[in-house]
Each structure stands twice: as C-alpha cells, then as structure tokens.
C-alpha cells in the first residue's frame, strides 16, 4: 500500500522546488520552508555583500546568494532544465538565444516552474528553520521530527514524519591556509562577496582557485583591475600571460605571502598585490540540524547513502543537491523522485547495515584512488552511472544520452578553449558540438 507522509522541505531553491513537486506527485503532504521572500535560492541575485568579506565571523549578517552581476551559466541551456520541464527556449535549433543563459533567466525559469507545478501555495516564505531534531529516542525510527522555525520574529514548532534538506551549499566560504597570511597587509575577499569589478579598479589582484567561479571572476574583474594573477593547482598553461588576455596571468599555487604585501607562487614568480580574492569554494553547513549520526568532516557529509539518505534514519531524513560536478538540475530531480518514492513505499531502501557498507565502500574506493575527502560529493566520471541508477530505481526510462554527450562536450571545450569556452560554443551549432564527442 502507498503511504502518504507529512514532510518538511527545507529551502525553496531549485532543489527544494523539485523535491516539492516530486513529493506532491507521490501524494505526500508537504510544507516548504524558505527563509527569504521568494523562490529560486542561489539564482536570486543579491547585490548586498557580507560585513566580513571572508565570512569568518560567525555573527555576521549572512547573505545567502553568491552570484556576481555578470554571471552566465556554465552549463548549456538544455542542461539547465528538468527531464519533463525543459529550460525555456531550448529547441536544439540554432536560435539567437545564448547557449549559456544569464542568471536572471534561470530565476525566471525556476519561478515559472514553481508556478506551473502549483508549488507556491505550499511554501512558507520568510520562515527560517532554526532547529531540526528527533523528539524521541533514536531507536524509535518512526518517531516524528521536530522542526522549529522563525517567521516575523515568532518562533513556531511543528512535527513531521520526514525531513528533506535542500538548504544549498554555496553560502559558507571555504578558505585555504596560506603561510604568512596573518601578517599580510592587503585586502582579502571570498568570491561569495564578489559582485562587480568596479571596486577593484587599477588593483593588482591574486585569485586563488580556478574552478568555475575563479575562472569567470578572473575575466570579469580584469575589466577593472590592473593585473589579475590566478593561482591554481591545475596549471594548464605555462606560468605567464594567458594568450588573448591582456592582463591575466596564471601561476602555480601561492607558496607564501610577505608582510610587505608580496605574494609568492610555487613557480618562483612573485607579485606585490593589493587584494587576494579566494575562489576556493564553499563548506556544507547545516546549523539547524541537531542529530548525532551525521557529521561534516572536511566537506564530507556523512554517512549518506548515495549522497541522499542518512542510513540511521532511512527514508525519514534525506538531502537533495549535495552532489556537485554534475548536471545539477537533473540530479536534484532524480534524487527527489527517489526520496518521494521511498517515502511512499514504491521503492525500498536496503537495511541500515547495507547502506553503511555501501558508504564505506565508496570511502575506501576514494582512498585507494587518492581522492581527497572534500571531493566526496563530486560526481564527474561517476555521474552517468549514478543518474542511470537513480532513473532505473525510480522506474524512469533510461536517461536520453544527449544529456551526457552535451556535458562531455562542455568539459572538453572547457579544457581546450580555457577562458574563451563560452564564446567558442555560442558560435557552434548544437549538432556539431554533439558530433564532436561521439
């Protein structure tokens, strides 16, 4: 028999919205808690920055969003939709629309998705969840969860059978340790607090990290800065000027910094810099979660069965969107379908012991392959197998292969064309792009 559960969904960003849709499709009773006053999460551009540009002060007034004004997606338009609700304008023909939409368009897409899926009435806006805990001893697995939230300065409590956590993981800066940094006199900022290039006019900037944000911000800030020096572990070009970019230089990692403002790189080069801009990623953070059986250790959230379920609490505590280096929207959609079906009884989970063994196996494999802990939730080469598995588990037809071909083509372009990958791909018909990876 199908069960209908009373479920709290924490967060009204992309993951919370698609989780809500899937839970409703399986006839669960849901409440979505969203601390801001609109849906969309990350995709709501917020021009404010935090008072502490490094995000170290735990008492700072927090800003959720990390978007910069010029941001365009790093995945192509067709990869930004859901399996049955494609991203607007995505017809695979050569349209005049950008292949990499601007952030405003993604927000419009999510707002339309929420409206068309009838989700808005299920969202409590301005409702920040401040505590989630069990109300009875841990061995009573059917015991309800207590969710406490603050709305208009009022504390409220309600009990739920299940909690789905979708609070995002791009708000809490992660910083490297740089020898000498305590006495370095310049300004330091994390990319969480980067919005526009203007404050960086004529400055010499060192960007630490060259993930998607480091990559894009270096180009954006170079419009105002005197020089931009990127320090990263993945040096693809020889240290020195990047071809075609007048004032951007690439180096190996920062080895140390001096009290006179000099920044030294492992390639032996050094520069007198005004600002260090850290594009070093984010930490998972669940300040409201009061349970014993889940930790965040060097950015490994665990134990989590297939990045979704807590083995201890089984179907009743789950996470959507923990994974990265993947086709993000599709991944959250499939994770959500799985959660909804496990809660209704359509799918079953293995025993707690079996789930723990699976988690341990993944950790062992990572260790053997020399992968650092903080990459636990990066999918990359595991993505296709993971998404196919979720689709099979939830009774969907096999995921159409173009999703993966397009993702592969994108990665290849990123490696071949470096900073110019969007410009190159904008000019290339989708069909050519897909042919290249076949």
Give the binding range for ligand FAD (CB under 6 A) out of 5-13, 201-209, 389-397, 414-422: 5-13
Task: Tell the smallest beta-carbon distance from residue 63 to ligand FAD (Å).
Answer: 10
Quick one: angle between helices 430-437 and 402-417, nearest 10? 90
Residues 207-226 that bind ligand FAD (CB under 6 A): 213
**Quick one: which of 8, 22, 30, 34 contacts ligand FAD (CB under 6 A)?**
34
User: Which of positions 284-303 make contact with ligand FAD (CB under 6 A)?
Assistant: 288
CB of 141 to ligand FAD, least distance (A): 24
Q: Which of 5, 21, 31, 43 binds ligand FAD (CB under 6 A)?
A: 43
Whole-angstrom Cα Rg for the chain = 22
Interface with ligand FAD (CB under 6 A), residue from 5, 9, 26, 35 = 35
Q: For the CB of residue 271, give the shortest distance to ligand FAD in the complex, in Å.
A: 26
Among left, alpha and beta (phi > 0; psi -120 to 50; other), residue 273 is beta
Site string for ligand FAD, 308-327 (x = CB under 6 A): -------------x------
Q: Is 328 in the site for ligand FAD (CB under 6 A)?
A: yes
Q: Is 129 in the site for ligand FAD (CB under 6 A)?
A: yes
DSSP letter for each residue of 178-228: -TTGGG--SEEEEGGG---SGGGTT-EEEEE--SHHHHHHHHHHTTT-SEE
Token code pair at residue 317: 């505590």
Least Å from the CB of residue 379 to ligand FAD: 13
User: Which of 147/359 has CB closer to ligand FAD?
Assistant: 147
Phi-psi region of 59 (alpha: psi -120 to 50; beta: other; left: phi over 0): alpha
C-alpha distances in Å from residue 286, one per residue of 168, 226, 315, 316? 9, 39, 19, 17
Minimum Å gap between C-beta 390 and ligand FAD is 16
Q: Which of 22, 77, 114, 167 binds ligand FAD (CB under 6 A)?
A: 167
Please report how close the Cβ of residue 31 comes to ligand FAD at its closest, in angstroms.
11
Establish if 193 lies at the interface with ligand FAD (CB under 6 A).
no
- Count Cβ neighbours within 10 Å for each residue of 29-68 and write b for 16 or more, e otherwise: ebbbbbbbebbbbbbbbeeebbebbbbeeeeeebbbbbbb
CB of 33 to ligand FAD, least distance (A): 4
Tell me whether residue 166 or residue 242 sits nearer to ligand FAD (CB atom).
166
Please state the closest distance from residue 21 (CB atom) to ligand FAD, in A. Answer: 13
Report the nearest approach of ligand FAD to the CB of residue 184 (Å): 26
Measured between alpha carbons, how far is 399 from 18 in angstroms, rounded to an integer?
17
Strand partners, 134: 145
Query: Kind of pairing, strands 227-231 and 145-151?
Result: unpaired
The structure tokens listed for 76 are 């192509």
CA nearest 36: which of 128, 114, 103, 148?
128
170 binding ligand FAD? (CB under 6 A): yes
Q: Does 166 bind ligand FAD (CB under 6 A)?
A: yes
By CB under 6 A, is residue 203 in contact with ligand FAD?
A: no
- Regarding 422 and contact with ligand FAD (CB under 6 A), the answer is no
The binder of ligand FAD chosen from 7, 10, 164, 254 (CB under 6 A): 10
Phi, psi angle pair for 285, to nearest 5°: -150, 120
Q: Which residue of 36, 310, 336, 413 would you call a contact of ligand FAD, by CB under 6 A?
A: 36
Residue 168, interface with ligand FAD (CB under 6 A)? yes
128 binds ligand FAD (CB under 6 A): yes
Does residue 15 bind ligand FAD (CB under 6 A)? yes
105 binds ligand FAD (CB under 6 A): no
Q: Which residue's CB is nearer to ligand FAD, number 14 or number 221?
A: 14
Residue 281 is a binding residue for ligand FAD (CB under 6 A): no
For residue 435, give both structure tokens.
């042919």
Cα separation, 177 vs 208, in Å, equals 11
67 binds ligand FAD (CB under 6 A): yes
∠ CA(8), CA(60), CA(208), 5° rounding?
A: 95
| Cα 318 to the center of its chain, rounded Å | 16
Distance, CA of 136 to CA of 42 (rounded, Å): 34
> CB count, 10 Å around CB of 77?
25
Q: Which residues bind ligand FAD (CB under 6 A)?
A: 10-16, 33-36, 41-43, 64, 66-67, 71, 73-75, 80, 128-129, 166-168, 170, 213, 288, 321, 328-329
């Amino acid at each position: 028999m199908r069960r209908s559960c009373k479920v709290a969904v924490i967060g009204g960003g992309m993951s919370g919205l698609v989780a809500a849709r899937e839970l409703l499709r399986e006839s669960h009773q849901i409440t979505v808690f969203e601390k801001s006053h609109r849906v969309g999460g990350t995709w709501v551009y917020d021009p404010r920055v935090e008072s502490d540009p490094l995000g170290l002060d735990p008492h700072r007034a927090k800003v959720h969003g990390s978007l910069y004004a010029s941001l365009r997606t790093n995945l192509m338009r067709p990869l930004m939709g859901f399996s049955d609700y494609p991203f607007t304008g995505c017809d695979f023909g050569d349209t005049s629309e950008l292949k990499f939409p601007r952030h405003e368009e993604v927000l419009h897409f999510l707002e339309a998705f929420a409206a068309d899926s009838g989700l808005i009435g299920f969202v409590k806006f301005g409702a920040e969840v401040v505590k989630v805990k069990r109300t009875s001893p841990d061995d009573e697995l059917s015991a309800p969860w207590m969710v406490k939230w603050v709305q208009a300065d009022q504390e409220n409590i309600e009990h739920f059978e299940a909690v789905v956590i979708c609070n995002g993981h791009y708000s809490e800066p992660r910083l490297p340790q740089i020898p000498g940094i305590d006495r370095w006199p310049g300004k330091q900022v994390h990319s969480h607090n980067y919005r526009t290039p203007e404050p960086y006019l004529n400055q010499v900037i060192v960007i630490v990290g060259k993930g998607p944000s480091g990559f894009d911000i270096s180009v954006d800030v170079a419009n105002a800065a005197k020089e931009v020096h990127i320090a990263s572990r993945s040096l693809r070009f020889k240290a020195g000027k990047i071809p075609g970019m007048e004032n951007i230089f690439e180096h190996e990692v920062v080895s140390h910094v001096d009290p006179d403002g000099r920044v030294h790189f492992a390639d032996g080069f050094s520069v007198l810099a005004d600002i260090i801009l850290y594009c070093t990623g984010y930490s998972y953070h669940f300040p409201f979660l009061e349970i014993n059986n889940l930790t965040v250790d060097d950015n490994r959230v665990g134990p989590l069965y297939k990045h979704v379920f807590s083995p201890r609490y089984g179907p009743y505590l789950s996470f959507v969107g923990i994974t990265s280096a993947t086709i993000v929207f599709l991944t959250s959609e499939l994770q959500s379908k799985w959660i909804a079906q496990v809660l209704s009884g359509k799918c079953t989970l293995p025993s707690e012991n079996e789930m723990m063994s699976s988690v341990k196996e993944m950790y062992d494999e990572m260790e053997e392959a020399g992968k650092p802990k903080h990459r636990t939730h990066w999918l990359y080469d595991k993505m296709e197998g993971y998404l196919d598995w979720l689709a099979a588990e939830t009774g969907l037809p096999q995921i159409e292969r173009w999703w993966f071909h397009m993702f592969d083509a994108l990665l290849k372009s990123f490696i071949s064309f470096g900073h110019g990958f969007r410009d190159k791909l904008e000019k290339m018909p989708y069909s050519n792009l897909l042919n290249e990876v076949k």
